Structure 1
Amino acid sequence: MYYLVSSGRRVISQIAVANYFKCFSTLYSLSSLDSSQFGGSFGEENVGLRENSDLAILLARISPGSSEDEVFQSLLSDPACDAMQLNHSLVGRLLHCFKDDWKLALGAFRWAESRPGYKPLPAFYDKLVDILGKTKKMDKMCALVEEMRENHIVTLSTIGKVMRRFAGAGDWKGAVRIFDELGDYGFEKNTESMNLLLDTLCKENRVQQAREIFLELKSHIPPNANTFNIFIHGWCKANSVDEAHWTIQEMRGHGFRPCVISYSTIIQSYCNQSDFNKVYELLDEMQAQGCQPNVVTFTTIMCSLAKFEKFEEALQISDRMKMVGCKPDTVFYNALIHTLGRAHQLKEAEYVFKVGMQINGVKPNTSSYNSMIAMFCHHRQEQTALEYLREMEISPYCKPDVQSYSPLLKLCFRDGKTDNLLPKLLDSMVNKHHLSLDLATYSLLIHGLCRSNKCEWAYKILEEMIAKEITPRYKTYSLLLEEIKQKNMFDAANRIEELMKKMKSS
């Protein structure tokens, strides 16, 4: 890593900044790899090392901001890429690296697809459908689905992704149109596909439209218990708990018994309203109906009590859970650790993580470690948080994600460690774990650097963000513009003002 020294402070160079924020830069060195993660035999170890080396080569050949055709041609014309033997693991990891950049993902996929002797998994097409839909490239998404239809690899999972992306883009009628065209893809309009549409609409706050469609379809497509659970969730999401209760009655009228999902969804709604008297009433009703609450029910209640700072009551949920013979899982333990952390019971949280989970045979996941890291960062215990990060890096069960680093990045800004710890963390994120930064992380960095009087660095990050087609928030533009004007960075100020005008006009 290269640094420029100015006025007694180390300022990161432009080259280093660019490297920080490229998922496409060199992966961690082969010498740092733990061979055990690739299996015990020498042959398996070599396969893992070769795959990481191949991935590093591919990422190094792809420049941020390239078009899909430029990516395709760059990989196609490169002798090192041409010599590779592609496998599903390598292609899957490549797509994961570009999950936030549709151009790079599409270009890399087209190259992989063109390789002699390699045929991508249908799941990779689905992944690309999702990437295109998430970035609202609907025409390209539909073109890819049409190509999949011609090759007979469209599944109901594909259909579900397309419906969700249309609804998520505000075009709920587009989702309905896909349902109407199911026959073109070789699928029937039946209970399963109807539920897929209803679920999509309800999750996108279109429960009223979903209800109207259901009333039209139910005469020739019979509902099942899941149909009503979808509506219970939809009404609760729309804060219409009374409608959810009526749906339970309707469910019984069709001969279906409300299950733990039905009740737990309404409990979640009462939890959101902080109406815990209703929560406990519904718990009693469940048990009276012979429907035992499950670990999800108890986890929901504990999280909600902690959210409203009812820590003592939240910790008692664990005892109530034991009384009904419900076993904890990883998610419950993560919630318990979080609750203990917020209640300032750090030793108890560590005991749960190191002893309680092990006794019950529950393996920690990334969220478990993230909870521990966030807890110690909140209490400004930087070294302990970093120890948990290092432990996660060598864990056989999970690896760090972007959220693992977020509390550590915040701690850097809070404690003024932008010259030493911050560059190391960013290097670990991008070069060691090749994580793609998201909108929240970019915003955190830009805001933190502005407040740390490092607006030059913040501006470079903004440019990287825009190159990846991640649109900054208006507040981010405003904050950076104010700082840049104070440094007399006129060209940068003009560019930001133009971007802000475009955002307002759109």
Structure 2
Amino acid sequence: MLVYQDLLTASASVQSDCSSDDEKLNCAPSQHARKRSRPLCSDSVVQTLHCLKRRPAIAFAYFKDTQSIGFNHDFSTNSEMIQILSHSRQGKMLVSLFSELVSSSNASGPEILPLVDHHRRTCATPCSLSFMVDCLIKACITCYDVQATICLFSGICRLGVVPSVWTWNLLLKFIAETGEYEMVLAAYNEMKCFQLTPDVYTFAIVTRSLFQAKKVDEALQVWAEMTEMGVKPDARGYSSFLIGLCDCRKYDLAYVILQEINREKVPVEAMAYNMVMDGLCKEMRLDEAEKLLENKARQGSNPDVYGYSYLIQSYCKMGNLIKAVDHYEAMVSHGIETNCHINGDMDKAHLWFHDMVQRGLSIDVIVYTILMNGYCKAGRLQEACQLFVQMTNLGIKPDVIAYTVLLDGHLKETLQQGWEGIAKERRSFLLRANHNKLLSSMKDMQIEPDVPCYTVLIDGKCKAEYLVEARELFDEMLQKGLTPDAYAYTALINGYCSQGEISKAEDLLQEMIDKGIEPDELTFSVLNQSSLRSRKIQFCA
């Protein structure tokens, strides 16, 4: 027992550490442990490990320390260490030990299967055996290739040890990563021979592998088996299956299954909805795609830009800009940030627009505004202005939204000119002139600016450094009984901050808060760049 007494002295500091056992994996015993009175032998190491079985971290540190001074662990010492770590469920340590054993098993290290068989015969509980196999396979997939891992796995099964479903899933996922779907299917079939019930993750791994290999029939067969076994997929399982069908261009089948899922009121991930919608739109089955969009909303899944964009693009391809505009407006009404999918190819959009005019179809201010907005966002302001002139020449009266689009377009062009190096005085002059010209036109048309329109005007004045005129516009908006929103206030606050007029910005912020208008993220972003940061903290408190 002299070695054990030496070890107890060496491990006093380790025992006093309050960290978890796994965190002590790399702890180093004291140098006193190296001063041994006699050479180590397997029996004495096993005896010491057995005495330390209730302190697995210390036992493992001792195990590693003896190895570091030249002791070669054999079957008996490895078995004892595996027994201790399995019983105490020290996963990190056990995976580390198995990784070393697996790496050296073809050299001078012990064979793995005899160790497993010994543990099978001597382990205290089935849970301990299952835990050991889990850790062994986890170590194998980091050290072995697929063939070697499968060979070891089969050897474990021949010993009468049945790995857990979790371990089978680990193996299936490892095989699937190689793209060998036949091996995945073979492992899945072998799993069923052991009377194990695959779980939802098993089916997700197997079907995904089959879909990647374009084996749709086999994937459907596995899905049918899952249903027969009474395994009910979760949202991720359903979504993975639908995405796989869409990847294989089985949009009709995906649509039918998604309808059945909707009837069962099972949630499905937004990506699965979008991929089925994309497939239906590619096949120009737009009525079904629209129904799917409605079902998605009824299921509580918020609309997003992708679903709408697929419909908008498809209707544009058909030349049905009216339907495209309807979905565009619906997208905007839901507060979705548009990225102009309808205007992604403005040349084609204009051709469709021209075709509608030639056929005598009704074109209203909304269609014109959509096209103008697309040109502005594409940096083609001149063509947007030409559309505006064409609209007015046809007797179509522009509304405040159409004017706001052009006002904003001129503002964005001014910012672009700044990036291109055009002098600030020149840019400010042009912006002021263009805005005044549009305002004069609005007055002639008897069109009153609304809050968004005033916000663009105020922002433009601030960017051009005409702060007095910006404040006059703000006051004019108030005098007309309009209530500025957070964007309007932020535009003027930003203008004051950019010119160093902090006190005026402070007053405006306080006015905003007093009126119950909550500053948004953009407001705080402006304030974070000025001395108003303390005011933000006070408001948040």
TM range (shorter): 0.3 to 0.5
TM norm structure 2: 0.34
Answer with 1 or 2: which has the greater Rg: 2
